[in-house]
Amino acid sequence: MLTKVGSYATFHGGFANVWHGSYDERDVALKELQIYEQDDLKAICRVFYREVLVWKFLRHPNVLPFVGINESISRFCMISPWATNGNITQYLKQDCMCDRTKLLQDAAAGLSYLHTLGIVHGDLKSANILINFRGEACLADFGLATFMHNVNTIAAFASTTGGIRGSVRWMAPERMDPEGAGYVSSQPTKASDIYSFGITMLTLGQVFTGVIPFHNSRNDAAVIAAVLSGKRPSRPPQPQAEEVGLSSSVWALIERCWDQDPRKRPIIASVIEALQISRVLTFEFSEADQVRYTHMLSSVLRCCHLKAR
């Protein structure tokens, strides 16, 4: 039997509320789409079942599992495991000594899985990276996820849902002004996911700064103006941020990820490799891990040596 736990939603979003629930003696999350009187129910149905169709086929350790849908509580309700540890920002505030770079590696692995399938997440941010009971990061919220090969469907969806959708403070400049960047629409791409991941990597230092990206900008319009002019968040204060993984090499990776030119941003495989190397240089590992990462570093160095010659 499926029931809600408590009288209030634990999270309120622009398009949905998330409730803590119980299903067959398991803690679950109930994502309930918000419906207003003036809303087009057909459009909401498309949004709801579109997310379900993407999410239900995803199987990866770093992607939040899909449990199912239910109409007894709400006409539009999706069910997933309950993330006891909250999202990545909440988790870092609870456990400031955890391996932050490993959490980013987890999230990057989940994003790599999506990109390999030709799926773009479309709304990557700290709130959509949840920490499971094992302390692993999992990607969540696939309401804006799109299949790259189905351009016509994506364009049609964008035109029927009021233009740009997503979180502006994590959004790539070419989505804010597609025409200025030479794009025909504001649809998300793998490159825009990488930009959002770069902004999300600031989570490493967020526990010290306690601020959101572009915290000096009061509203979305100010953020858009700043991003389109090439401005980016400042580096968190040292040495505290570096002590928890936000090293110079990670900062350099962040700057590559949020490059104004989408073509200059790294692919997700390069992001994962850079995070692995950074973690090797920052943390202590078991002997087996040391051997594995030593081989990886040797391969990278050999490759660099050959290119130099």
pTM of the model: 0.83
pLDDT of residue 245: 80
pLDDT (tens digit per residue) in 263-305: 999 999 999 999 998 887 765 555 556 566 566 656 656 655 5
Rounded to 5°, the CA angle 87-88-93 comes to 100
Catalytic residue among 24, 27, 99, 123: 123
pLDDT of residue 163: 55
pLDDT by 10s per residue, the chain, length 309 = 888 888 888 877 767 889 899 998 899 999 988 777 666 778 878 888 888 989 999 999 999 999 999 877 677 889 999 999 999 998 988 877 788 899 999 999 999 999 999 999 999 999 999 999 999 999 999 988 888 754 444 333 443 344 567 899 999 999 999 998 888 889 999 999 999 999 999 877 776 566 789 988 989 999 999 999 999 998 887 777 787 788 889 999 999 999 999 999 999 999 999 999 888 776 555 555 656 656 665 665 665 555 444
| Conformational region of residue 173, where left means phi above 0, alpha means psi within -120 to 50, and beta covers everything else | alpha
pLDDT of residue 287: 55
* Helices 268-282 and 190-200, axial angle in degrees (round to 10): 20
CA distances from 172 to 122, 164, 209, 285 (A): 10, 11, 23, 35
pLDDT (tens digit per residue) in 143-184: 888 887 544 443 334 433 445 678 999 999 999 999 988 888
Domains contained in the chain, CATH given: 2-81 (3.30.200.20), 88-293 (1.10.510.10)
- The rounded distance, in Å, linking the Cα atoms of 183 and 168 is 18
pLDDT of residue 76: 85
Q: H helices within 161-286, ranges in order?
A: 173-176, 190-200, 203-209, 220-228, 240-243, 248-257, 268-282
* Helices 248-257 and 190-200, axial angle in degrees (round to 10): 150
123 is catalytic: yes
Helix (H) or strand (E) holding 12: strand 11-12
Q: How many CB atoms lie within 10 A of CB 269?
A: 12
